[in-house]
Each structure stands twice: as C-alpha cells, then as structure tokens.
Chain A
Amino acid sequence: MSPDGLEKTAVEARPPVLAPGHTYASITDKISSIVLLQKTKRGWWFGFAVAFTLFMVLNFAVGYLMLMGVGIWGINIPIAWGFAIVNFVWWIGIGHAGTLISAFLLLMRQAWRQSINRFAEAMTLFAVASAGMFPLLHMGRPWLFYWLMPYPDTMGTWPQFRSPLVWDVFAVSTYGTISLLFWFVGLLPDLATLRDRASNRLAQITYGFLAMGWRGSARHWQRYEMAYLLLAGLATPLVVSVHTVVSFDFTIAVVPGWHSTIFPPYFVAGAIYSGFAMVLTLAIPLRQFYGLEDFITLRHLENMAKILLATGLIVAYGYVMETFMAFYSGSTYDRSMIMNRMTGPYAPVYWLLITGNIAIPLTALWSAKIRRNVAALFVISLIVQMGMWLERFVIVVTSLHRDFMPSAWGMYYPTIWDWATFAGSIGLFLTLFFLFIRFLPMISIFEMRGLVHQVKEEKA
C-alpha cells in the first residue's frame, strides 16, 4: 500500500474486520453449527443455571412485592425514587448501544458493525425488557399500568401530558417495538438458513414458521434491504430521543442536582458509554467460548474501546460543567448539593463513581495497547458499568435526600428486596441472552457473507 516508500504503519497495523481465509460456506457452517450441530456446551449449562437462579430470585422478589407493596423497598419520603429508577435508567441506557450499532452505524456505512450487531440488538431488547419492568413495579399497583395510556374510560382519568413520566411511556414502548421489529426483520434471512439446514423436524418447523416464507429471491432481498434501511432510519433518532426523555424525568423538576440543562446530551452519552461497555462484556467471553475470534476481531474491540473513550469524555465534561456551574451560579442550594455529593453521607459512592467512570477508564483507554488487550478491556467494561450504575444512584438518591429544607432531609438504605430485584433483573437479562445464543445465530450469517465479498473487492 506504500509504493512511494512512505510509512503507513498506523493504518496497516490495524487488525482486519474479518480474519482472512473465510468463504461463504465456512461462515455459514461456523455460525449455524453453534445452534444446530454442536452439543450444548457444559459452560452454557453452567451459565444458564446461574442466570436462571437469579431470574428465580427476581420472580420471588416481585411476587413478594405484589403481596406486600413497595414498602418492602428502602424508598421513603423524600427519597421516593430508589433502586427502581436507578435500575430503570441503567438498563435503558445499556440498550442504546445496540441500537447505535445496528442502526446508526448502518446508516454511516461502517462495515465493522456486521459481526456484532445481531447480539447487540438482542442485548437491547433484553435490556429494554429489564428496564421497562421497573417503573411498572415502582407504581405500586402494576396491574393498573394501562392507566398510563390515554384511553376514554368511565373514571375520567387522563394522563398528564406535561409530565415527562408520560413521555417515558411512549418513548420506551416505541423503543421496545422498533427494537423488536428491527431485530426480527434482520433475523429473517438467517432463520431461513437455519430452516434449510436443520435436520430435526421440530427445528425445521419452528425456524420455517419464523422465517415467514423467506426464499431469498431477488425481490425478497430488494424489499428486505428497503425495509431494513427504513427501520434503521426510524431507530436512529430513538437512540437520542429515548434517553433525552429519560433525562427530562429529572431536569423538568427544580431539585438541585436534577435541574441542569446539560442533562439531555450528557445522559445520551452516558447511555452509549454503559451500553458499549455491556457489548464488550458480552462479546469478549462469547468470542472466546465459541471460537469466534475470526469474526469479532481485535478491530471490533478496539473500535468499541474508542467509542467508550469518546463518550466517557463527554460524560466527564458533564461532571465538570455541573460542578463549575454550582459554584459559579452563587446558588446556596446548588453549591450544597455538590458539596453534599463530595463530602456528605454518600460521598464514598460519589468517589467510587468518579473512579469507575473517569479515573480508571479514561486514563487506561487512551493507550492503544490497552485498547487491544482483551483481558484489560473486559475488566474496564465491568468497571464502567459499575460506574454508570453508581452515577444514576448519585443522581437519584443524593439529589433527593437533601433538597431545600433540612427538616425534610432523609436517608435511603436499600433493603434486601432492592438488591434481590436488581440482581434478579440481571438474571432475567442473562437468561434471555443465554437462550438467544443457544437458539438463534448470534452473528448475522448473511451479513458476514456480504463482508467476505466486500473484503475481496477491497483487495482487488
């Protein structure tokens, strides 16, 4: 690539998007065999058992909640929003990375997305499921959730459309719907591949039913491409709008620590930050256990690490501005809010969040060596997720526990049921994810075949 003798080290040293030597057939064999041919691995059973146990913990915790009411949680007045909202924001944020990868990077024509988009979309779907559960449980009477919908009824109730909590209902349900459609439409050609390759009657019928009569004709493909592109166009604005609406849940109020104009972009960046961390957390063990290093290469990991760095910097910018403005504003309340975060009863949480979100990842990811070190990335991805969870805890709890009047101050201590529900939601997420990798192709087969063609063309 350098006939003029100039060094092109930086570019050439980058790992490929797809390891060399792959053909259409080898890709189809490799990915579909995980679902159809390989015996279920012992590791899968072990992981699934752990996840399913946690899921059972969730069912137990929620069952008890239904019986007793939200009083079993640590929430009180003034801290009416406890773990439920922290978890909701955390999970919905995680989902955003999947949409960003599948839709936004598609519109940007980034070829490297093709080996990670399938499971990232699945991650989005399961994260939205975990997220959506929390506000419903937090309502106290989840069976009346439909009161959130505007429908004519004899009670004369109607949602308050000026409340961002109502916007949330629409934002999240739209998001869930589009994510499901996008994921399912993207699966169609691969479901057909599985149908054709399955040797067991039940699998043939199931995949055949789900493939919706896909035959791979030119007309199918043409319509498919059009539909997929349109869905991508619809999904991309949702990456921004959903978390913007979530940020409005806070900023529309006048509580110090919530009412800050930078929240919308800062929440979106934070969502992508934690979401890409989750993609890394999932991708690194997956490629290891299923031998997918050829498809999910170091290039993918490095690119994701770069996105982590960029979004992490925006989050850091948010912290800087918030802190500076609290002092610049001259407002006693803003100032004591920041001081309370840094030195108050929840100070350890705040400093742990700064360490996990800023100090460790933003110094480490600066180095290209660490961005290509799989083990280090895995650890960092876990640290970032912890940091982002703590960030939501700091925003929700420390802002509420001491607002304007000292007589109204209080403390929030999570109970065993708070922890059980949180751990259980991770169980729900992982259970669904384990089922996904067992029964559906975790990497898009046909898009990888497209990549083979693309790589070949680039070489020619």
Chain B
Amino acid sequence: MSTAHVHNPDLTAPTVVKTIGQRSLVVGVIFSVIAVVGASAQPTVFFRGYLLGFMAWMGVALGSMAVLMLRHMTGGGWGMVIRRIMGAAMRTLPFMALLFVPILFGLPRLYVWARPLESITDKHLREHLQEITKSYLTVNGFILRAIVYFAIWNALSFLLTKWSREQDRPGGRDNSARFKAVSGPGLILYGLTISFAAIDWVMSLDPSWISTIYGLLVLAGQVLSAICFAVVVERILVRYRPMSEMLKPDYVHDHGKLMLTFVMVWAYFEFSQWLIIWAGNLPEEITWYMRRLNGGWGYIGLFLVVFHFAVPFVLLLSRPFKRDVTRLVWLAIWLIVMRYLDIFWNIEPNFSNTLTVTWADVVVPIAMGGLWLAYFFRNLGSMPLLPAYDLDAKEILEPAHE
C-alpha cells in the first residue's frame, strides 16, 4: 500500500507535555495532602468541596467525549486538530470513576435523602422524602445507577480509543463508519446518562426541587468546559511542532464559534429555567432560587450573568478575536473558572443560607485538578497528536492554501 503522506512529519506530542504533567502531579499531591488533613478535621466541609471539584473536572472529561463524538458525526478539520486532546481528556474517565468512590462515603453528609428520616426536622421535607427514598433516591439505587453511567461512558471511551489507535499505523481500514455507528447512539446515551447523573449527583441535593431542563443545562456546561479546555491545551501545544503546523486560524475560528454557541446555549437554558420558575412562583420551585439570590449568593448569580454570559458573548462576536488563539485562550481560561463558579453556585447554597467559601471549595478542586491534569498529560503524550492514517488527517497536514 502506497502512503499518501509523502512527508510524514513527527506527530508525537512535544516533551513539554511531560513537564506540565509532572508539575501538575506535584501540585496535585501537595494539595491532596492538605485536603486529606483537612478532611480528617472537617469531613463535612471536605465532602462539599469534593463534590464541587468532582463535577467541575467531570465536566471537562465527559464534555470532551461528547465533542469528540460530535466530530465523528459531522467531520471537519476543527475537530480533527483537537481530536487527540479530547481523546486524552476522555481517557481520564476510569480515573473519574475512581474519584467517584469517596463520594459514597460522604452520602449522608451531602444528601439529605441519605440520612435517616427521623433525623429530618422539617415536616414537609420528611413527608416528601417518605416515598421517594423508598423508590428512587436510595443508596443502593444511587450506587447502581452510577455503575451504569460509568460503565456506559468507559465503554464508549474504550471503543473510540481503540479504533483511533488503529489509525496511527498504516494499513488499517477506514474507521469513519465505525466511529459514526458508535457516536450516534453514543451521543444519545451521553444525553440521557448525564441528565440522570445530574439529577442524582447535584439536583437531589435539594430533593424537593425539580427542573426538567436541568440535565440539558449541565450538558451544555460540560460541552462548553471541554471546548474551552481544548483551546487552552492547543494554545500550549501550538508553540511546538507538530501543533504549530496543524493549527490554522480557520480551526481556531471554529473553536471560537463553538464557544460562542455554547455560551449562548447555556445562557438560553439558564434564562428559560429562571423565567419559568420566577413566573410560576411555586413554593417547591422558587425556594431554589430564593436561596441562590439571597444571603450574598445573589452576587455570584449576578456575576455569572455578566461574566459567564454578557462579557464573553460580546468578546466572542469579534472575528479577529476568535481567530487568534493567543487571545482566545484567555477567555477560555476565564470561562473554565466561570464553569467552576457556576457549579459552586449550584451546589454550595444547599448547605448554607449565606455566602460562604470554605477551604475545601478551593483546595479540593485544585488537588483533584492537579491529579487529573497529570493523568491527562500522560494520556496526551502516549499517542501521536494526530491519527496520521485517518483520511481526514490529510487536510490538516497540508500546508494552508491562504
């Protein structure tokens, strides 16, 4: 078989990947030690921060899988050039499953439904929980469902990685049909599993509150996190070969457009949820917002409106801004921070009526992030940055026509 790639450039990741990975590991280990020490002193506070960190990093990992599957469905150079970045993030899912285990030890500390019913003083809540804690919100059910979610996610990740690896060697067959065959159902599975996981892990913190759009809100947030993360990594890699030759302004432009799209989608979902609940003003629904708009939490909410939506939206309207990765990266970093803040605003007001930030809200997400990034960069270094024998790779390796 003759090869189309006359000049076969070195596609392995630059050594900087290893350096960053090692540094992340150091940060991760140091903060983990602090977190463990803190956990022994204030276990309840620790678990709250833990759930926050878990949801934040889960968003990047799972969102990357979603974007990857989207790329397999639609094609396009924008996705090819960051395909291996998203793949490396997706392959942290076994680690995320491992990180999930400690939550099981904190269930009664986090979730009111996991506590004995007698201990609940609020009469209405106890009445409400009487039924649901027998049917859906049970500890066994919670564990069983988590096993199903992680099994599905890891199975998808396994298949996508396996076929992608085949494309690093010559002589393989065209896998694009297989990728499609898995990604279509995969996206449906992702949509359903993340919705129910969001209900289990976050929405059930306030078991009497419901919002049918909540799953989609979490989904949009995850995809946004993943795109921003990919932009940050591509910015690091673009200083070195081979990314410096692969990443064209058109692709960066597409990434910027995706950021804009999901900033808008997120805001649209948030606004819809808020307007409907505000207008309905039902006691079981509005309480969720009452908590989040009073006692200082409202400032965070307002901050999110301005800096998770309005400012990024205006910036992302500019075409030159979207095409320049060295500028776009700053907004991407900022939006990752905003994603963290949004999750913070969703989770923490359940535990306190007034705005409180604990040591765990900062330390645990950093600890988790350090370890997660170390694993991510190890994954990134373990495979070439482009599957050279994928038919779409040609487009990336060709010099720009402009």
Contacts and interface: CB of A to CB of B under 8 A. Distances in A.
A261 B4 contact: no
Given A8-B174, A321-B195, A261 B277 contact: yes
A261 to B, nearest CB: 4
Interface stretch (B11-19, B89-97, B147-155, B265-273): B265-273
B213 A265 contact: yes
Contacts of A199: none
B275 A248 contact: yes
A2 B212 CA distance: 48
Interface stretch (B30-38, B239-247, B279-287, B378-386): B279-287
A212 interface: no
Contact of B136 (A4, A317, A328): A328
Given A248-B275, A265-B213, A10 B2 contact: no
B276 A263 contact: yes
A327 B2 CA distance: 60
A254 B1 CA distance: 67
B148 to A, nearest CB: 15
Interface centre among B1, B211, B279 (most CB of A within 10 A): B279
A330 B213 contact: no
B173 A264 contact: no
B277 A3 contact: no
Given A3-B4, A261-B211, A325-B210, A254 B272 contact: no
Contacts of B117: none
A317 B192 contact: yes
B323 to A, nearest CB: 16
| Contact residues on B (Cβ < 8 Å of other chain), bracket | 35 or more
A168 to B, nearest CB: 15
Contacts of B131: 330
Nearest to B216: A265
Nearest to A163: B279
Given A4-B1, A6-B174, A331 B277 contact: no
Interface in B357-402: 389, 391
B177 A10 contact: yes
Interface of A: 2-10, 162, 240, 244, 248, 251-254, 259-265, 313, 317-318, 320-322, 325, 327-331
Across chains A and B, which 10 residue pairs bring their CB atoms closest together, nearest first?
Answer: A262-B212, A4-B4, A261-B213, A264-B272, A252-B279, A262-B213, A261-B211, A251-B276, A329-B210, A261-B273
Given A3-B2, A261-B276, A320-B192, 8 more contacts: A6-B174, A252-B275, A261-B211, A261-B277, A262-B216, A317-B191, A321-B195, A331-B284
Interface of B: 1-4, 128, 131-132, 136, 173-174, 176-177, 180, 188, 191-192, 195, 199, 208, 210-216, 268-269, 272-273, 275-277, 279-282, 284, 389, 391
20 contacts: A3-B2, A3-B4, A4-B2, A4-B3, A5-B2, A6-B173, A8-B174, A8-B391, A9-B174, A10-B174, A251-B279, A259-B280, A261-B211, A262-B213, A263-B272, A264-B268, A265-B216, A317-B195, A325-B212, A330-B208
